[in-house]
Structure 1
Amino acid sequence: MTQVELGDSARELAREVLIHGPISRADLGRRLGLSPASLTRLSKPFLDRGLFVETAEAVQGATGRPARPLDVRVDARRFVGIKLTGEAAYGVLTDLRATALAQASRELDGHDVERVVDVIAGLVAELADDGGAALGGAGLDGGALDGSALGGVGLSIGGNVTDQRVVTRAPFLGWRDVPLADLLEARLGIPVDLENDVTALTTAEQWFGPARAHDAFAVVTVGAGVGYGLVMHDRVVTTPDTGLGLGGHLPLDQNGPLCLDGHRGCSTAMLAIPSICAQVGIALGREVGYDEVLELAAAGHPAARSVTDAAGRALGRMMGYIANLTMVDAIVLSGEGVGLWEVAGDTALAALAADRDPEATPVEVHVDAAGFSSWARGAAAVAIQASLARLRLPA
């Protein structure tokens, strides 16, 4: 069957329904600037193929005219998202809205490229099997829509990525200029797309997270390091420096500890898991893990509480800088270290308020507490986004 490439209007329609559905045709027309006739013409191929569905009728307005909002068929394809660290690969199998259907992880036994590819390929096969999905799917750009087919793999990595194909820099793996997408596609036989991990997570929050109603918001990630993402005018902001972790060295506390690069009281020194654990460990005279630090702080232990309170103030100051300089009024907190919010959230909010003009719009703070699952869902969102970009429908 002949396949035709979609125009920009059709892709934007698919994106709006995916993100905001179920959504009325009237709302779609206003969002996209389309007439009812154009909207009907553009949506028909999606409805005919079963990618869109009409939801239950609702009475609209005083005339009682029935409206049938449009939504995507979320089980039309499955996707795998993988977050790659220096120690392990964490993966999820998702539907079209990046809802996790299965989760798994595998440790890395080295950083040799071929061995890492083996681990990733095995993880993809495990997730597909756990979720009843079949390798060899064709994305959304060809073949019958079958929810058991795996439509693509997204992989996020802490470092720099070019054209969603090549890992140009990944310090924790010792990699430079690795054509990872090509290597994985040769093994898996399905599309693979790469992205910087913070950019991928920001994409997931933009499309499917609690701040998606905002066309401008920021993302702050707390974990092994500190990351920062930004959405402006409903687009994720990226630059050639994306992947360098520039948000990790914002000065926050002139009396804080030093980071490994010698910056006193920067965001990494104040908020990253290794630094928090090291500070409490020095006070206690022994090594401590992050979960124990949070448990001690919750119980009121003076040393742990001192460190987490300082971290909370630093986090609030960082959010204040972001809100004041970018003029966003929503911030999403995520990452595997976001459990800090449970013991220092009130302190952070107080610091944020102290750094804002009292008449400024209040900042909404949304906390994504899913940990490594959030990173992997971000990678899946990249695969979903790329699948829409490749979307083709029968002529």
Structure 2
Amino acid sequence: MREVAASWHPLSSGERSVAIEVLVHGPLSRTELARRLNLSAGSLTRLTKPLIESGLLIEVPEAGTTAAEVRQGRPSQPLDVVAESRSFLGFKITEDMVYGVVTTLRSDIVARHDRPLTTHDPAQVADLLAEMTGELARVHPRIAGVGIGVGGLVQDRAVVGESPFLHWREVPLAELVEERTGLPVVVENDVAALVEAETWFGAGRGLDRFVVLTIGAGIGYGLVLGGRRVPYAEEDRGFGRHWIVNPDGPLTPDGERGSAVSLLAIPNIRYQVRAATGRDHTYEEILALAAAREPMPARVIDEAARALGTLVAQIANFAMPQKILLAGEGVGLMDVAGKTVEDTIRAHRHPLAAPIDLETKVSDFHDWARGAAVLAIQVLVLGAGEE
């Protein structure tokens, strides 16, 4: 398996720029590629030759090209990647499940495989990941690498420094999984991986200023400037615990009083309803009760919607993104209280401010696993993302 990944030699910075441009935006003609990267025709030829020889890029026929013209190898043939030539595994580890996907080189999901997580012992978790890798590799044999997304602090894309969900500290997860699979492994904070995937292949493709905001078990935030994700300390330790949205808001087990986490994270929404009614409900049940105007669930969801609107408006006011992507398992809030969110956004924006391009993505944990696979593509194939 390692030989497959090694067939792509380490790329120079120029080769990397060409490969990424074609991977994300291709197929592209040489003329368009040179224009995008501000390269001369000679420089482009020099950079693309080793990429074609290694099999990372290929020439593809233009629409309307005849078979005879293809055989002649016309210089104007666009360049593209063979998306199905290699496969990548992506895993998202939660407190009680491991979600796995197989993706193409362009991050299209071609298979899913999930397993319950019954222990947090690092060695046993690595055993489970190895078992899942083996099961998926039997059906998809051209696996080039593995990406793993974990909620928490990840160091050097290899060691889980701290994960509150798994109760881990200083776990060398990449090494543990590599030993068991023989494949190269990249480990990253799950929000960072999701932001990278959306920047390259999703809602943020081609944008200079882009934000990802996730709501679910916690709150996640990612900022992209100049087309590149901006790393920051809090993304690994739980965004929003100290971002006070409403100083008079509820006091919950997680997050400061009235913080984004205390108002919006699913466990804290469930806690508020349970504390007020004495009954435990799932998040989906709370949304349904709020839609039916049951008093306490409706109040809690209304507060959450106003918190989300305030948070989105503040992000827009300061970061000025071209688009904000709202994702995560908590986005059902928009279905029930979307108007409250929109009204709150307007109330916290200048009357002449441009409307916010707010895209809501109904996502599940396979999207987070796909993000981990994209990290593997970036690091293991292209050598990109090493900030």
The match for 2:163 among 147, 158, 170 is 170
- Partner of residue 310, structure 2: 317
- Partner of residue 8, structure 1: 13
Deviations 1:316-344 (A, max 9, x none): 11111111112212111111222222212
> In structure 2, do the counterparts of structure 1 residues 2 and 107 end up closer, same or farther at CA, with 3 Å as the change threshold?
closer
Q: Report the alpha carbon displacement of residue 314 of structure 1 after superposing the two structures with TM.
A: 0.9
- Partner of residue 90, structure 2: 81
- Partner of residue 279, structure 1: 272
**Residue 133 (1) aligns with residue 164 (2):** no
Paired residue type of 2:360: V
Paired residue type of 1:361: A
> In structure 2, do the counterparts of structure 1 residues 362 and 22 end up closer, same or farther at CA, with 3 Å as the change threshold?
farther
> In structure 2, do the counterparts of structure 1 residues 205 and 3 end up closer, same or farther at CA, with 3 Å as the change threshold?
closer
- Partner of residue 144, structure 1: none
Distance 2:190 2:174 in 1: 15
Paired residue type of 1:165: A
TM-score, scaled relative to structure 2: 0.88
Q: Report the alpha carbon displacement of residue 48 of structure 1 after superposing the two structures with TM.
A: 4.0
> In structure 2, do the counterparts of structure 1 residues 112 and 210 end up closer, same or farther at CA, with 3 Å as the change threshold?
same
Q: Report the alpha carbon displacement of residue 67 of structure 1 after superposing the two structures with TM.
A: 5.8
- Partner of residue 220, structure 2: 227
Q: Matches of residues 79-158 of structure 1 in structure 2 within 5 Å?
A: 79-129=88-138, 132-134=139-141, 149-158=142-151
Aligned with 1:102: secondary structure?
A: strand
Paired residue type of 1:9: G
Aligned with 2:169: secondary structure?
A: coil
CA contact (8 A) 1:93 1:128 kept: no
RMSD: 2.4
- What residue ranges of structure 1 are gaps of 5+ in the alignment? 60-64, 135-148
Q: Report the alpha carbon displacement of residue 288 of structure 1 after superposing the two structures with TM.
A: 0.4
> In structure 2, do the counterparts of structure 1 residues 337 and 128 end up closer, same or farther at CA, with 3 Å as the change threshold?
farther
Aligned with 2:236: secondary structure?
A: coil
Distance 1:157 1:364 in 2: 29
Paired residue type of 2:130: A
Q: Identify the range of structure 1 (346-355 vs 49-58) with the bigger mean alpha-carbon deviation.
A: 49-58
Give the percent of matched residue pairs that are identical in Structure 1 and Structure 2: 47
Distance 1:2 1:262 in 2: 47
Deviations 1:261-312 (A, max 9, x none): 5622111111111111222334443110011122223344343332222211
> In structure 2, do the counterparts of structure 1 residues 345 and 127 end up closer, same or farther at CA, with 3 Å as the change threshold?
farther
Aligned with 1:82: secondary structure?
A: strand
CA contact (8 A) 2:206 2:227 kept: no
> In structure 2, do the counterparts of structure 1 residues 356 and 55 end up closer, same or farther at CA, with 3 Å as the change threshold?
farther
Paired residue type of 2:101: V
Q: Report the alpha carbon displacement of residue 79 of structure 1 after superposing the two structures with TM.
A: 0.7
> In structure 2, do the counterparts of structure 1 residues 160 and 55 end up closer, same or farther at CA, with 3 Å as the change threshold?
same
**Residue 218 (1) aligns with residue 220 (2):** no
TM-score, scaled relative to structure 1: 0.87
